[in-house]
Structure 1
């Protein structure tokens, strides 16, 4: 049995967008910044990926491009600091706090499932780190149990076994305020990925209309929110980690059936501090890209400094229309 999205009563954004932006305006913006084309071969490989019962998945919101293309590397980890922090937390808890082992590059310990599907631009990527990226499916397939796997895919491209009611793999989903995600996406697409070359205001409009992650932002979030009480799924908000990281560590440890002694928890909390992560070469990806900025700011409410009051109002309208039939709260 596959759990379908249609049963979730997710609100589509078409009518909402018509109220926020004119069709002529958006047609012009999409003409200037076209989405890329769908690559069915890569998607088929992902959907057929074989899941193991001992797998542990960390899933963030879908990346840029709405996954209509795998022709260019999309370096927009829209909740990068959130998923990276959870990845490191999960790996260390399960590996009994092997800080020496944690010096290995995070993408080798906790690879991104879909990374193989991207063309890796030589001007940004250190070729020595290619294997866990360009051959990510084979790399993961060869890993010993338990495998630690990260994804930034929309639901419709998930491995089918992961959506099965018989799936026993553990899934941790990370949500973040969509306005802050938009800001993070803009900076990573414009300055780290060199994928988008327009203004921030135009990016916000495109973002809400599907340019960066499309309706999959709400599809993914509400899908996991509605399944959050299931044994194999843990739903965490990024803002929870900022407000009370030790509490989130306890929650994750309980979910993984790995109780943590107080002294271990204190060291892990310090290890996962933003400044510590930003300077950690195994986590910050700066040994991979010839540009800095993978871990950028990580603060709550960054959108208030970047967005106009008018744009915030439009986002609020979009958010309300998207979740009004759900019990999810921002």
Structure 2
């Protein structure tokens, strides 16, 4: 596809899920993707701490060696499975050239995950974030990451988000789909807010899930290297190496605030009340709960 086609793409529909048209073009390769038994999948709804979790995992895989984790940009160290845009290699092509054990990133809802991940019994870590912060972060991401359609105003974007008319569809369906799947599959389900409150405890959960032990000193190094302050200034983690054509950091940095509760700086009282009501309706009957602030 041509470079200009990758900019401000419209969304198509893939099995009822809104998705970038270029990603839909690449879908046959994604669907047929062959996972390896030692792959680890990092799954999230967009803007839910994906890059943070990816950096933590790469540090764990390299036993806390920060230099090794600066070997390349995060999007090359943890390839994005369904990625398919202008000229560069697709996520599938990148992964095929990545030696095991691979870290794989996806935003796909659970029902669209290639079946080979289930067949090979791969370990999966899902991270969820409260929807109020997700929508604000996603709005700013739309402004700077030009593969997205123009988000319009914050109020317009909020409407689209609540209606599930954004890339990857309904946040509710996404977080609930993966939550329900973990009853039967090898999935560690983490929360962004817990990671903000007590990153050490969450890293220990990950290590336990992996059956891996690291010294206190190594865990300390991982926590330092993956703190928001460190990642924000690390070109291998902050996406500043991504071509300006695709990401304009002057509009909004990729790593913007990394906090919980930023929605309070953006939502009006009326928007918040309406969102709360919408949330109650869509989460009714689920035992999945989110902290809107910490």
Equivalence for 1:182: 135
Equivalence for 2:47: 78
Q: Which consecutive unaligned segments of at least 5 residues does structure 1 have? A: 1-32, 62-76, 121-129
Deviations 1:16-56 (A, max 9, x none): xxxxxxxxxxxxxxxxx995334554222211111111000
Residue 84 of structure 1 and its aligned partner are, at CA, apart by: 1.1
Equivalence for 2:124: 171
CA contact (8 A) 2:224 2:230 kept: yes
CA contact (8 A) 2:182 2:188 kept: yes
Structure 1 residues 49 and 34, CA, compared in 2 at 3 Å: closer, same or farther?
Answer: closer
Matched residue count:
266
Deviations 1:193-230 (A, max 9, x none): 27325211111011111222465422221122123355
1:319 aligned to which of 265, 279, 287: 279
Q: Distance in 1 between matches of 2:120 and 2:280?
A: 32
Q: Distance in 1 between matches of 2:189 and 2:284?
A: 19
Equivalence for 1:222: 176
1:1-330 equivalence runs, <5 A: 36-38=11-13, 41-61=25-45, 77-79=46-48, 82-103=49-70, 104-115=72-83, 117-119=84-86, 130=88, 134-162=89-117, 164=118, 166-193=119-146, 195-213=149-167, 215-229=169-183, 232-290=186-244, 291-292=248-249, 293-330=253-290
Question: SS in structure 2 opposite 1:174?
Answer: strand
CA contact (8 A) 1:175 1:237 kept: yes
Question: SS in structure 2 opposite 1:225?
Answer: helix
CA contact (8 A) 1:186 1:203 kept: yes
Between structure 1 and structure 2, the one with the greater Rg is 1
Moved beyond 3 Å, runs of 4+ = 38-41, 213-216, 227-231
Residue 191 of structure 1 and its aligned partner are, at CA, apart by: 3.3
Question: SS in structure 2 opposite 1:113?
Answer: coil
Q: Distance in 2 between matches of 1:189 and 1:207?
A: 12
Q: CA RMSD in A?
A: 2.1
Question: SS in structure 1 opposite 2:208?
Answer: helix
Q: Distance in 1 between matches of 2:36 and 2:282?
A: 34
Question: SS in structure 2 opposite 1:280?
Answer: coil
Q: Distance in 1 between matches of 2:142 and 2:258?
A: 16
Equivalence for 1:28: none
Q: Distance in 2 between matches of 1:156 and 1:270?
A: 36
Residue 249 of structure 1 and its aligned partner are, at CA, apart by: 0.8
Residue 119 of structure 1 and its aligned partner are, at CA, apart by: 3.5
Answer 1 or 2: which has greater helix percent.
1
Q: Distance in 1 between matches of 2:112 and 2:185?
A: 23
In the superposition, the TM-score normalised over structure 1's length comes to 0.75
CA contact (8 A) 1:189 1:195 kept: yes
- Which structure is richer in relative contact order (CA contacts within 8 A, separation 6 or more)? 1
